[in-house]
Amino acid sequence: MAEPVIPDFGEASDCVAENRLFCTDWVRENWDPVLQPALVEHIKLTVIAVGLGFVLSLVAALLAHRFRHVERPVAFLSAVIYTIPSLALFQLLVPVTGLTVTTVEIALVGYTLLILFRNNLAGLRSTPPEVLEAARGMGLTSNQTLWRVELPLALPAIVAGLRIAVVSTIALATVAAFVVSEGLGGPILGALRLDFRTEIIAAGALAVGLAILADALLVLAQRAVTPWASARRVT
């Protein structure tokens, strides 16, 4: 007699079967197939979004630093984008770019612009007038002043903006799961629909942990690139 064909879903432990608050055995078994790939995707989503957003906002800030009338339209536009709810912006982009990572990235980049632009510009403008005067007195051209004086002095504000952008992008990227199954939002949303507690808590903790870790790394980076600030540090 032939064996009946029963798909093998593996043995669910008592903990998983009873849907207790947190099952370490499930996390151990599903780290490789579920959690780790989601974590890596989440990091990728964030790095690409903040990277692109940073380049765009730095170019915009440099332009606004040189030509004052650029500031208001850019600030206005980025503030309007920032006001659009994330889930709505994702859905609004779907007809144009489809259910793809591109849709998600466009929205995530859009949300970084306000914070990054604002901080980059504030940083560029923070150079004291007497320092600019001294730079000019030493015979630096305006390009040299920008690269050797204004940008280095802007670093603390720039990194402060990056910290906020990275942390909020990590949080926001979970919403991407509504559009495309990428990142930690996927397991959270899936588990929420099945009411599976362990997965919600594990993936949620990873998202929060990632944000805290990324923030801490940026603080260290900030100290490394601005050694002169450690004497009178502003957090």
The binding track of 171-190 with respect to other proteins, each residue x by CB under 8 A or -, is xxxxx-xx------x--xx-
Tokens of 119: 């901080």
Treating both helix axes as pointing N-terminal to C-terminal, what angle do 185-194 and 197-225 enclose, rounded to 10 degrees?
Answer: 160
Quote the least distance from Cβ 175 to other proteins, whole Å. Answer: 6
Tokens of 158: 């720039």
Residue numbers 188-227 binding other proteins by CB under 8 A? 188-189, 191-193, 195, 197, 200-201, 203-204, 207-208, 211-212, 215
Quote the least distance from Cβ 142 to other proteins, whole Å. Answer: 23
User: Is residue 109 near other proteins by the rule CB under 8 A?
Assistant: no
Q: How many positions of this chain bind other proteins (CB under 8 A)? A: 58
Q: Is residue 98 left, alpha or beta, with left meaning phi > 0 and alpha meaning psi from -120 to 50?
A: left
Quote the least distance from Cβ 222 to other proteins, whole Å. Answer: 11
From 1-9, 10-18, 113-121, 220-228, span contacting other proteins (CB under 8 A) = 113-121
Query: Measured from the CB atom, is 140 or 152 closer to other proteins?
Result: 152
Residue numbers 124-163 binding other proteins by CB under 8 A? 157, 160-161
64 and 70 Cβ atoms separated by less than 8 Å: yes
Residue identified by tokens 């779907």 is 94
User: How remote is the C-alpha of 26 from its chain's centroid?
Assistant: 28
Contacts of residue 116, defined as CB under 8 A and 6 or more positions apart, other chains included, come to 53, 54, 57, 58, 61, 161, 162, 165
The binding track of 55-94 with respect to other proteins, each residue x by CB under 8 A or -, is --------------------xx-xxx-xxxxxxxx-xx-x
38 and 174 Cβ atoms separated by less than 8 Å: no
Alpha helices by DSSP H, 125-196: 129-137, 142-145, 151-172, 185-194
Q: Which residues bind other proteins (CB under 8 A)?
A: 21, 75-76, 78-80, 82-89, 91-92, 94-96, 114-115, 118-119, 122-123, 157, 160-161, 164, 167-168, 170-175, 177-178, 185, 188-189, 191-193, 195, 197, 200-201, 203-204, 207-208, 211-212, 215, 234-235
